[in-house]
Amino acid sequence: MKPATTDRLWGGGYSEATHPLVQAMNASVSFDQALAREDLIGSTAHATMLRDQGLLSEDDYLAILAGLRQLLAEVESGGFVWSEAREDVHMNLEATLRDRIGAPAGRLHTARSRNDQVALDERLWLRRRVAEIGASLAHLMEVLADLATRHADWPMCGYTHLQRAQPVTLGHHLLAHAEALVRDAQRLLDLQRRNDACPLGSGALAGTTLPIDRAKVAQLLRFSSLTRNSLDAVSDRDHLVEAMAAAALGAVHLSRLGEELVLFATAEFGYVRLPDAFTTGSSLMPQKKNPDIAELVRGKAGRVIGDLMGLLVTLKGLPLAYNKDLQEDKERLFDALDTWDACLRVTADMVAAAQWQRKALLDALDRGFLLATDLADALVEAGVPFREAHERVASLVADLSRRGRTFASEGPRAVAKALGVDEDAVARRLDVRKSLERRDLPGAPHPARVRREARQMAARARKLASQAAVWNRPCPAELLLTT
């Protein structure tokens, strides 16, 4: 029998070296090093609790704390040397600490498992990352609110089935996208509440027999509650799924906005011009300016959705408690949230710089009979049942279309005669600005209401930014580590 090798940091009874392909597949440090700051914060809280419980001497505690501070400085400066042989972020940091300070480092892992350690790290990382994404959401909401204020009275075509339908304003249209972002923010708020439970102290799966103080750790890490079942705590990834589901839906919202920018920037629409900074040229056709960034925002939604599906499939067949399959959560989590955040930030800058074309927006209004419903409403006011009014206007639209005419070219007198109503009533109904002003009810595109909604959207954005800053404030353990 071969002698036991030393390439395994923990565990005994091994007589063979780890197969190199096993080592490569088993190692996660290439991506889970993203959790290094959170791992060091968690270790600071754990060490402080061990000291307070008499499980760690003051001298050992101070040596560990000094070592953790040095590791943080090296990690954040890029000077820390990561080793695949040490498998993951936890083993890399603890083994390096042991190399630096010796025996006290061996006491840091008292009453702790990598199972509850990674569960903690992911919750801390998620809390911070969600706060950063909340700030990005708030910024895009504020950009859209500002644009809506400046374009509150710019009439444009509203669409259903991508067919011209009824007049709205550009400000109203932009605020529709902002409303979707509000729901994205609400999902993050809900997620933070469920993420706010400390799993440390759950051990590998069954807690510990040592007299630890889980509540103390939770306080040091600014968690408002403790996980209630150790088996669940080390295997639960619901909060990651929720975050990735929010990211997937948020990316879909951005994809829809990106799709509209692609469409509206075409010569066929001509509603918007995207600045050169957000377009690219063709390798063959010298005249081209392609809306590649809007297209990438649209395309990356599929990537984020794929990340979510991958994690769900990984989780669906796992028995309790921890299984190595859970290592597969991190790359997908990091990619989904990083991609969403990047798309939020670039979309905010692109939308803020876009140049909307007022004349093109106005010219399109007459070509699609957008005021047909207004004319039907005029008939209703004259006592005609709506279904009959609908049929009369539909027949008129069909006739005008066959003759290549519009309401404007036909004129109020001819339209009124065809419909059998007063010419003044028709003239009022064929004025797009008056049409918008008549839409004076909550949620409608009356310019004054759009301005009011834009102000409220800006206020919601500022509130979200403040909440995100609160989520991201340092916890007591982080302050111990960094001061």
Looking at the annotation, which residues are catalytic? 161, 282
Phi, psi at 169, each rounded to 5°: -120, 160
224 vs 200: CA distance, rounded Å: 13
Q: How does strand 155-160 pair with strand 163-169?
A: antiparallel
CA nearest to 365, candidates 299, 430, 442: 430
Instruction: Answer left, alpha or beta for residue 343, where phi above 0 means left and psi between -120 and 50 means alpha.
Output: alpha
* Cα-based distances in Å from 357 to 21, 259, 270, 295: 58, 18, 7, 21
311 vs 218: CA distance, rounded Å: 27
* Local structure of 201: helix, strand or coil: coil
Phi, psi at 125, each rounded to 5°: -60, -45
Amino acid at 45: A
* Cα-based distances in Å from 201 to 93, 118, 208, 217, 224: 20, 12, 7, 9, 15
Q: How does strand 272-273 pair with strand 355-356?
A: antiparallel
342 vs 181: CA distance, rounded Å: 15
Amino acid at 460: R
CA nearest to 444, candidates 261, 171, 184: 171
